[in-house]
């Protein structure tokens, strides 16, 4: 099996820094979430979209860091097919979700700047809920189609060619 090529003296510091980064990402995003949820004054479209972005960031970190930290500690790049597909779906959901959430935030700012008097009517709670639901629906639909096309092919081996499972890494495993 091909190792990660990390010098033996750097394995534990790399593991510690990876764990620290992952924990800090989760703590800071949870702080944002709790601040928005607990403060009723922040229940406005931009903050709710920011909360959505924070959830998406935790998804991305959870998709990437556990496998990376495990690979660093074990110096092993192997991964099972279900774990690789799950990681790839989550990584791609993170990327697509970030793009779509930032697009929704841009739309919110566009309405606030171009129609300030109608902003509250346009960005009503119901409309915002539809925007957020559309963001997640489009993201999951794209991921579902993408990975349903890949899921029917068998893996030839289980050694990750890249540091993380992505669509291109999955095609290299087949």
Task: Give 4-34 pLDDT, tens digit per residue.
Answer: 677 778 788 889 999 999 999 999 999 999 9
Given a cut of 60, is residue 103 above it in pLDDT?
A: yes
Q: How many structural domains are present in the chain?
A: 1
Question: What average pLDDT does the structure give for the chain?
Answer: 87
Distance from C-alpha of 143 to C-alpha of 97, rounded to nearest angstrom: 10
**Integer CA distances (angstroms), 8 to 15, 65, 67, 73, 110, in order:** 12, 20, 19, 10, 52
162: left (phi over 0), alpha (psi -120 to 50) or beta: beta
pLDDT at 3: 56
Structural domain span for residue 103: 8-173
Q: Is 30 a domain residue?
A: yes
What CATH number does residue 125 fall under? 1.20.1070.10
Q: Is 152 a domain residue?
A: yes
Q: Is 50 a domain residue?
A: yes
Q: Is 64 a domain residue?
A: yes
Q: Is 2 a domain residue?
A: no
For residues 123 and 48, is the Cβ–Cβ distance under 8 A? no
Distance from C-alpha of 130 to C-alpha of 114, rounded to nearest angstrom: 21
pLDDT at 4: 67
| Reported confidence tier of residue 104, pLDDT bands at 50, 70, 90 | very high
Distance from C-alpha of 147 to C-alpha of 143, rounded to nearest angstrom: 6
User: Tens digit of pLDDT for each residue in 143-164?
Assistant: 888 878 876 777 666 666 667 7
Burial label, 160 (beta-carbon count in 10 A; 0-12, 13-18, 19+): buried
Q: Is 93 a domain residue?
A: yes
What length is written for the chain? 174
Given a cut of 90, is residue 50 above it in pLDDT?
A: yes
Q: What is the mean pLDDT of residues 158-171?
A: 68
């Amino acid at each position: 099996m091909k190792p990660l090529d990390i010098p033996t003296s750097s394995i534990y510091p790399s593991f510690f820094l990876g764990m620290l980064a992952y924990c800090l990402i989760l703590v800071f995003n949870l702080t944002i979430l709790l601040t928005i949820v607990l403060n009723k004054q922040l229940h406005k479209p931009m903050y709710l979209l920011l909360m959505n972005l924070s959830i998406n960031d935790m998804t991305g970190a959870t998709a990437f860091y556990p496998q990376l930290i495990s690979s660093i500690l074990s110096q092993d790049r192997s991964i099972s097919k279900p774990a690789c597909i799950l990681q790839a779906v989550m990584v791609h959901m993170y990327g697509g979700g970030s793009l779509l959430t930032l697009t929704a935030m841009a739309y919110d700012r566009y309405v606030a700047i171009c129609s300030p008097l109608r902003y509250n009517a346009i960005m009503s709670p119901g409309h915002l809920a539809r925007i957020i639901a559309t963001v997640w629906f489009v993201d999951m639909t794209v991921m579902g189609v993408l990975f349903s096309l890949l899921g029917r092919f068998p893996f030839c081996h289980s050694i990750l060619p890249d540091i993380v499972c992505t669509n291109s890494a999955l095609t290299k495993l087949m």
